[in-house]
Every structure is written in structure tokens, then in C-alpha cells.
Amino acid sequence: MSRITRLHVRRLSARMPRPWVPASPDLHLIIVTVHDDEGNLGTGFSWTPTIGASAVTALLSDDITRFAVGREADAAILWPALWTHLHEAGGGGVTTIAMAGLDLALWDLQTRRSGLGLATALGRRHDRLPVYGSGVNLHYPLDELVAQVQRWIERGIDAVKVKVGLSDLADDVARVAAVRAALGPDRALMIDANQRWDVPTARTALERLSEFDLAWIEEPLRSDDTAGYRALAEAISVPIALGENLHTIHRFREVLDAGFAAVVQPNVVRVGGITPFLEICSLAAGRGIDVAPHLLPDLSAQLAISLDQLCWVEDVEDAGFEALGVLAAPSPVQIRGAEATVTEAPGLGLTFADTTPDHSEESS
């Protein structure tokens, strides 16, 4: 097995066509290139949609580089050792987000060395995946929200997700009612509260919103409120989805053991990369719980197409890497209408641009 000789770390930021948070219009990637002593290289990335890019960059450039150089270029071997090394700085969050950059780079290196694309290396189980339309749209006026839903319908999409959690429940009810009216009775509707509620607020809200035939309520409570989720699940009929803000397999195991999650949504970067992501999906499959990977379809779809269960791909409007202008070559994941397909490209198949029109920072 070859050994790591160098890590190159740089920041890449892009102005979002539809900012998720009006006050933070840029999305940030931290691009990591790993070199080994046989002349191979692989490129991965970490991701922070609003804050934390400087902290992730520093952790990668400093502690992670010093730990990784000289070690075997094998993601499965390196990941647990690196997690143990970084645990004093936090068991998850910035640590696992930073770890993802190296883990993805090592997977890219390993699969490129084998001459395969990631999906093929993992073993394709599906030819195509269903897509659901997802909007970070709580700040949209009602007419703009409905117009977004109409665009999804015109694409042939059969499932959509919209944000809830406004200060006045009547406004949430009006918006969800308008979306359901646009969708009709036969398309799936999910809502996402992004951790805005406590248990009493969630119970009250879902008593009203459940009349709109909801496929799930996503993150109604803070992600670490296990007792609250257990109590809420006993009080409501709407299935609960969560996982984008769970950072370790231990937290996913805790949630699955508690029995309140109908759907888990690991984010491949936030959990620390492909290595732990696959372990989490295996854990969920063993419990009979559905997986719906969170965001990052340019990578998530490559992983989902290798899972035994058929997963939805989350497609946030104008948020794919090509739409953001951060790729120098086409993405291996192609979303057309209501389906995603994965083309064969070496490694992760992602070639990042050197710069973006907005701003880019580099460090080694």
C-alpha cells in the first residue's frame, strides 16, 4: 500500500443563484488533494454552506496534514485512527467535516488507481434514482414558493419538500395548503422545520399541518434532543426524518435504537466522508429504516446508486456543483426531470475549477 506524501488544501467559494440564507449568499468548498509516494493523487472536498470554512481549512492544513503524511493511503485504515486523534477537538462537527475532505480524496485516489468510477467500484444496484425537489425557501413570498413548486411539477417530479417554521403558524398552514393544492393529491409532500420547534410547538403545528398528507416532517426539533424526539413521535402520526445534523455513527445508532426515525438522512461530508457514510447506511438497512442522503447530489447520488434500497436524491434548485460554477468538467451525476443517473468517470468524477468568479482562497 502506498503512503501519503502531501496534502494540498484550498478554499473555493461560489455565489449561490438562490441563497439559502439571504445574509450569507456564498457556499464554501474546501478542496483537498492527496499525493502518495507512487505518484498517484486524489481530490476530495469538505463543504460548509454558510459558516465554518476557515476552521475546516485550518484543521485540514494543520492537524490533519501532520497526522496523515507518512501513513498508508487507505481510507478504511486511516479514518478510525484520524478520528481518534482528533476526538479531543470534538467527536463531530468541524472535526468530521474536515475529515471528509481527506476521506473523499483517498477514495478518489483509490478508485482512480483501480481505473473505476466510485459507483462501479462500490457496485451499482440501480440504473437510475428518483429525484425530489427541495427548496430552501422559508424566506420566499408565497407566490414565489408556489412558482418553485410549479417548476418541479413541470419537470415531472412526484415529490417535493418545503420549509416550515415561521413565527405565525397560520402562515405555515397557508403556505403548505398552497403547495398541496399545486401538487394535487397524488404527489408526495415533505416539510422541513430545520430544528426550529420545541416539542409543544411541534405538536401544535403538526396537528394543523398533518391534514395535508405529509410524507415526513424533517428535523422538527434540535438534532440532539433525543428525549424530545421520543416524546414527539408518540404524539404525532407524521413520520419523522432527521440526520443532516448527526455527525457520527454513534448518534445514528442512538436515534435508530430510540425508534423515532422513519427516515435517516446522513450528509456524506458532515459524517466524515464515504467511509462512515457507508457504515451508517448499512446500520440503517439492518434496522429496516429508509435512507435519504442529505444534499450534495453530485456525490450522494453516486453513493445512493450503490445501496440495496432505492433512495430519493435531494435536488435543491440551482445548488448543484455545475449550477454553482465550481466544476471544470461535467458532473458524473446527471439530473434530468425526475431522475438522476450516474455516468462512468474515474474516481469521484469531480474536477473542480481553479477559481470562481466570486472569491477563492488557497493554502498548503
CATH label of the domain that carries residue 249? 3.20.20.120
Across-strand partners of 291?
Answer: 264
Alpha-carbon gap, residue 178 to 175, rounded angstroms? 5
Residue 364 maps to a domain? no
Q: What is the pLDDT of residue 226?
A: 95
What nine digits make up the cell of 124?
A: 451499482
Q: Are residues 19 and 153 in the same domain?
A: no
Q: Is 126 a catalytic residue?
A: no
What nine digits make up the cell of 274?
A: 464515504
Q: What is the pLDDT of residue 222?
A: 97
Q: Are residues 74 and 136 in the same domain?
A: no
Q: Which of 74, 90, 115 is the last residue of a domain?
A: 115
Q: Are residues 47 and 127 in the same domain?
A: no
Please spell the DSSP secondary structure of 211-226, one letter per residue.
GG-EEEEE--S-TT-H
- Residue 106, SS3? helix
What nine digits make up the cell of 259?
A: 425508534
Q: For residue 93, give the CATH number of its domain.
A: 3.30.390.10
Residue 162 maps to a domain? yes
- Residue 8, SS3? strand
Residue 353 maps to a domain? no
Residue 349 maps to a domain? no
Q: Which of 83, 115, 147 is the last residue of a domain?
A: 115
Residue 137 maps to a domain? yes
Q: Are residues 127 and 91 in the same domain?
A: no
Q: What is the pLDDT of residue 359?
A: 41
What nine digits make up the cell of 12?
A: 473555493
Q: Are residues 102 and 228 in the same domain?
A: no
Q: In the structure, how many helices (H) and strands (E) does the chain have?
A: 13, 14
Residue 363 maps to a domain? no
Q: Are residues 74 and 179 in the same domain?
A: no
Q: Is 163 a catalytic residue?
A: yes
Catalytic residue from among 163, 247, 250, 359: 163
Q: Are residues 30 and 106 in the same domain?
A: yes
Catalytic residue from among 8, 35, 247, 294: 294
Q: What is the pLDDT of residue 50?
A: 86
Q: What is the pLDDT of residue 360?
A: 40
Q: Are residues 52 and 90 in the same domain?
A: yes
pTM metric for this prediction: 0.94
Q: Are residues 295 and 146 in the same domain?
A: yes
Q: Which residues 6+ apart lie within 8 Å of 199 measured at CB? A: 221, 228, 231, 232, 235
Q: Are residues 213 and 327 in the same domain?
A: yes
Q: What is the pLDDT of residue 355?
A: 60
Residue 186 maps to a domain? yes
What nine digits make up the cell of 167?
A: 413565527
Mean pLDDT, consecutive 10-residue stretches, the chain (364 aa), reads 96 89 88 97 95 96 98 97 94 96 98 96 97 94 97 97 98 98 98 98 98 98 96 97 96 96 98 98 96 97 97 93 95 96 96 65 41
Angle between helices 249-258 and 226-235 (to 10 degrees): 30
Q: Are residues 130 and 97 in the same domain?
A: no
Q: Which of 64, 89, 115 is the last residue of a domain?
A: 115
- Find the domain containing 327 and state its range: 120-342
Overall number of domains in the chain = 2
Q: Are residues 211 and 320 in the same domain?
A: yes
The residue written with cell numbers 459507483 in the block is 119
Q: What is the pLDDT of residue 142?
A: 98
Across-strand partners of 242?
Answer: 264
Across-strand partners of 188?
Answer: 159
Q: What is the pLDDT of residue 19?
A: 84
Residue 352 maps to a domain? no
CB-count exposure of residue 325 (10 Å: 0-12, 13-18, 19+): middle
Q: What is the pLDDT of residue 357?
A: 41
Q: For residue 127, report the phi and psi dihedrals to the nearest 5 degrees.
A: -85, -30
